Structure 1
Amino acid sequence: MSPNVLRWFSLVALLWLQSINGTNLSFPAYSSQLKEFLSISQFKLNYLSFASDAGKVLGFISGIAAIHLPLPLVLLAGGSLGFAGYGLQYLCIVKKIICWINTACFIVAITGFP
């Protein structure tokens, strides 16, 4: 695949990825008020945006599980996933990992189209 086609393909993939993230449409509308009200930095606001995106994208799984699985198993899975999710948020806050999808998309777009 030629580099020119690859960079346009990556741009289309980035646009789809950005459109699938739920808060790209609504979060910017209230993020400045949220930042002011909670007195948080832009860095922490970015992590909050990611957590909101991930919750919206994966929220349907719990409904499907509740319909088809026994309740104790659903509770065990929910507790385990909650522990993992809050663990990832903790790692983000202490700057051990970076997981804001928009940052990755911007970097790919900027390197593909200097």
Structure 2
Amino acid sequence: PGRQRGATNAAGQLLVLKFSRDEEREADLVGLDIAARSGYDPRAGIALWNKMAALNQSGAPIELLSTHPGGSERIEQIDSHMNVLLPLYARSKGVSVNRLPPYRSNVAQR
């Protein structure tokens, strides 16, 4: 009974973490939608997560045990929704998507 209860508790904790990651993914998309509508370039999100990955190469927790999706997953999510985000951003700037300039980070590279 003790081992079974321990396994059940562990499975329950992993399920809670999965729901937390799902909620974080949804929050990321809502935030990106709001930011794009407000005139912030959604392509900056990809640059941000690439920089975060470079800074945190060795200390990142195992995604399965984390309440947040990993940076590479967040980059994939942003990229897969760019077809929706870029038109929102372009509309906020009063131009069509094909008139948007290429993305350039305003942060100096080291």
TM range (shorter): 0.3 to 0.5
Normalising to structure 2: TM-score of the pair? Answer: 0.34
